[in-house]
Chains A and B, each alone.
Chain A
Amino acid sequence: MAYAATRGGEEAIEQAERLYREDLAPLTAERVAEVRRTMPYLVDRVMGEASLYEPDLAALALVQTGGDLYEAVLLLRAYRTTQPRLWIAEAVRHADILTVRRISAAFKDIPGGQILGPTLDYSHRLLKVGVLDGEPDTVAPVTPSETPAPATQPALADWQREKGLIEDARAEAVPLEEIPDVTRDGLLFPAPRAHRLQTLARGDTGGMLALGYANMRGYGPTHPTVNDLRLGEAEVRLRHPRGTVFSAGRVRVSEAEMVSKASEGGKLQLGFCATFGWNEVKTIAGATLDLSMHFENDYPAASEEFVLYHTEPTEASGFCIHFKMPHYVTFQSSLDALRDANAKREAHPATAPETPETPDAPAPAPELEEMPS
């Protein structure tokens, strides 16, 4: 009979998945291509959180899950697990990024210039409802500038270092294969800087925004300024065994550098966050978190452990939905202790503890321990 019951469970989960899929349009290569083409920012967001740069697979994950972002990220992360780590790319420098948008809020103009690039920042957020009634959506083509912006820009931080405004503490040259990889090592605290930045790079956009915003509002030690914010494309440069460095292709990247106004030892501090894809809100929040974590403080939202653990999309979403699973063994175990304590209290009310301030108050009810999951 248990065999039959087991098959029953198997049939049930099979049918439940079919029911879910039946509500979605069929999964086809055309729909995947359409999502990739029309929703690049969504594709970028899941590629960043998945830490897997493959727009076709990201679009596939989005279509396959009907747009459930956490499920899409999980699909890509699990796919990533099956892929060997064959090579480690050379470091990308600020000055190498083919920049399409670059902003600094710290100065009116900066070396390399302010480049507005593609943005909705100054658009009026009006729904184009007419489109639903068949009106065509007309957007005038971009008028090219007479002098095109330079493809690459120097880092503003270089100028600030020269002026002695920030510490000249450049990373030591670490052999590529010795860079810690948070997907291959356990995360311990204080985390190596590489682990921290990697964890932020694959962090949950919404979670990082929530904690970053908490810092910005005052639940944190910093009120930062955007020092250097960029959207661009970076070459993935690999070193051939014969020694030649070559580009294996380009990836869309965003990076944000936030600068503190509070000084420490006469120097301003920088916070940094970079991620795959174009995702400004994530990198601004991430760089704010990185900056906040630098300062000694008692704010949970600026504690490295608190931030890095709770902005991990796959872990947070998985644990949240795991509460749907049966917990009747743990519940039964706690119930047993509670009933026994209640029975004792009823049988011997005199032995129940009394609080000295309110001697007439009834004995407190037993406290049920938090049930483990």
Chain B
Amino acid sequence: MSLAELTAPWQRFNYGFLDESAKREIRRKTLKAIAVPGYQVPYASREVPMARGWGTGGLQVTLTLLKPSSVVKVIDQGADDSVNAVSIRKFLRRVGGVAETLDTTAATLIQSRHRIPEEKLRADQVLVLQVPDPEPLRAVEPDISEARHMHADADYGLLWLKLYEQIVRSGRIMEGASYPSLVNGRHVISPSPIPRWDVPKLHQADNLTILSAGREKRIYAVPPHTDVAPLAFDDIAYRVEDHAGIACERSGVKGYFLNELPKGGGASVYEMSDTHFATKHIQKREGEAVSFGATYYRKGSLAR
């Protein structure tokens, strides 16, 4: 036996960029996050070759989960071809040599910013959401030490008050994306800035969702088959965006979350935000063989 046999050949960096000690920490913290659904687990959060705020938290989790047999999909605002999604996918290719896909149903690992795909994720798929601000209490309590106490006491009174004040002032709850949601009846999370349309997809999902904030250094998770309840009042129901009745300009399909594109003369057209899902509808219309997964929404309403 020689020293050369025992040593791995020199390489510029480890498989998946992060070294094994960084991966080990992220695995441990992720397991803790799964064990305590919705609890924000602090982690070291290494610097990666992308700017903070550009998906570095999601990226570190993805890099840790990456293996050569992974099939990866990366989306930003629902689109695979958004420049930052392209950049992240290119990086995963460079450091992981993984298979890539645009098709939600074909992916084993999906990293996303601001959306959950329209096709229902399965038990064998993991969704990694990029999180800019993990703290749902930030708007009512900017001091993170204080906010941690409030989570420990399940003291969410100020959040309820905030929603109540919105109703008093504006006649409805004015929260847009990042809707505060109670996980497993215990911790309120920010589900990352996914639209309200996507929050019910987390409830009793078949898949694991890991949420990771690189800059703020927190990992939290929604394990499979876990209750996720957006905060709402008994007499004022939670409302998703009013997109169900509008058709997608590209695919002609109705009943999914849309992007509005302003046009001259005050007009707007709408396109489906889950761009590859729309593409599959177009391919089908053109006679190509495409397979669709089950969807969370059917005819614009939640299918449960």
- A interface residues, Cβ below 8 angstroms from B: 1-3, 5-6, 8-10, 12-13, 74-75, 77-78, 80-82, 84-85, 183-190, 305, 314-315, 317-322, 325-338, 340-341, 344-345, 351-353, 364, 366-373
B207 at interface by CB-CB < 8 Å: no
How many Å lie between the Cα of A18 and that of B145 in the bound state? Answer: 44
Known pairs A1-B279, A325-B76; A371 contacts B217 (CB<8 A)? no
Q: Interface centre among A314, A322, A338, by most B CB within 10 Å? A: A322
Residue in contact with A366 in the complex, picked from B21, B170, B178, B218, CB distance below 8 Å:
B170
B204 at interface by CB-CB < 8 Å: no
B175 at interface by CB-CB < 8 Å: yes
Q: Interface centre among A6, A13, A185, by most B CB within 10 Å? A: A6
Chain A residues, CB < 8 A from B48: 78, 81
Stretch from B80-88, B181-189, B222-230 forming part of the interface with A: B80-88
Chain B residues, CB < 8 A from A351: 171
Known pairs A6-B102, A9-B81, A329-B77; A334 contacts B44 (CB<8 A)? no
B201 at interface by CB-CB < 8 Å: no
Chain A residue with the shortest CB-CB distance to B41 = A186
Stretch from B1-9, B50-58, B117-125 forming part of the interface with A: B50-58
How many Å lie between the Cα of A338 and that of B260 in the bound state? Answer: 15
B193–A329 touching, CB < 8 Å: yes
Residue in contact with B44 in the complex, picked from A82, A185, A326, CB distance below 8 Å:
A185
A367–B166 touching, CB < 8 Å: yes
Chain B residues, CB < 8 A from A368: 174, 176
Residue in contact with A369 in the complex, picked from B51, B90, B175, CB distance below 8 Å:
B175
How many Å lie between the Cα of A32 and that of B43 in the bound state? Answer: 35
Residue in contact with B177 in the complex, picked from A317, A329, A352, CB distance below 8 Å:
A329
B176–A328 touching, CB < 8 Å: no
Closest 6 CB pairs of A and B: A318-B52, A186-B42, A322-B53, A334-B176, A366-B170, A318-B51
How many Å lie between the Cα of A205 and that of B137 in the bound state? Answer: 30
A330–B178 touching, CB < 8 Å: yes
B132–A372 touching, CB < 8 Å: yes
A367–B81 touching, CB < 8 Å: no
Chain A residue with the shortest CB-CB distance to B243 = A336
Number of CB contacts from chain A to chain B under 8 A: 204
Residue in contact with B260 in the complex, picked from A6, A332, A370, CB distance below 8 Å:
A332
Kindly provide the distance from the CB of A199 to the nearest chain B CB, expressed in whole angstroms: 12
B178–A372 touching, CB < 8 Å: yes
B259–A329 touching, CB < 8 Å: yes
Known pairs A315-B52, A371-B176, A373-B193; A6 contacts B76 (CB<8 A)? no
Q: Interface centre among A78, A188, A372, by most B CB within 10 Å? A: A372
Kindly provide the distance from the CB of B57 to the nearest chain A CB, expressed in whole angstroms: 11
A78–B47 touching, CB < 8 Å: yes
How many Å lie between the Cα of A10 and that of B195 in the bound state? Answer: 27
Chain B residue with the shortest CB-CB distance to A321 = B51
Residue in contact with A338 in the complex, picked from B90, B114, B174, CB distance below 8 Å:
B174
Residue in contact with B77 in the complex, picked from A81, A326, A335, A364, CB distance below 8 Å:
A326
Kindly provide the distance from the CB of A180 to the nearest chain B CB, expressed in whole angstroms: 11
B196–A333 touching, CB < 8 Å: yes
Residue in contact with B168 in the complex, picked from A314, A340, A353, CB distance below 8 Å:
A353
Pick 9 A–B contacts, CB within 8 A, sort by A: A9-B81, A10-B90, A13-B83, A305-B143, A314-B47, A328-B77, A329-B78, A335-B176, A337-B175
Chain B residues, CB < 8 A from A84: 19, 21
Chain B residues, CB < 8 A from A185: 44
How many Å lie between the Cα of A334 and that of B241 in the bound state? Answer: 9
Kindly provide the distance from the CB of B145 to the nearest chain A CB, expressed in whole angstroms: 4
B195–A333 touching, CB < 8 Å: yes
Kindly provide the distance from the CB of A129 to the nearest chain B CB, expressed in whole angstroms: 38
B102–A366 touching, CB < 8 Å: no
Kindly provide the distance from the CB of B53 to the nearest chain A CB, expressed in whole angstroms: 3
A13–B51 touching, CB < 8 Å: no
Kindly provide the distance from the CB of A229 to the nearest chain B CB, expressed in whole angstroms: 30
Known pairs A318-B53, A335-B260, A371-B177; A189 contacts B90 (CB<8 A)? no
B172–A344 touching, CB < 8 Å: yes
Chain A residue with the shortest CB-CB distance to B195 = A333
A337–B172 touching, CB < 8 Å: yes
A81–B18 touching, CB < 8 Å: yes
B51–A322 touching, CB < 8 Å: yes
Q: Interface centre among A84, A315, A335, A344, by most B CB within 10 Å? A: A315
Chain B residues, CB < 8 A from A340: 172, 242
How many Å lie between the Cα of A338 and that of B259 in the bound state? Answer: 16
Chain B residues, CB < 8 A from A366: 169-172, 174
Chain B residue with the shortest CB-CB distance to A330 = B177
How many Å lie between the Cα of A369 and that of B113 in the bound state? Answer: 20
B301 at interface by CB-CB < 8 Å: no
Chain B residues, CB < 8 A from A345: 170-171
B76–A373 touching, CB < 8 Å: no
How many Å lie between the Cα of A3 and that of B257 in the bound state? Answer: 22
A373–B132 touching, CB < 8 Å: yes
Chain B residues, CB < 8 A from A82: 12-14, 17, 19
Kindly provide the distance from the CB of A57 to the nearest chain B CB, expressed in whole angstroms: 14
A326–B132 touching, CB < 8 Å: no
B14–A319 touching, CB < 8 Å: no
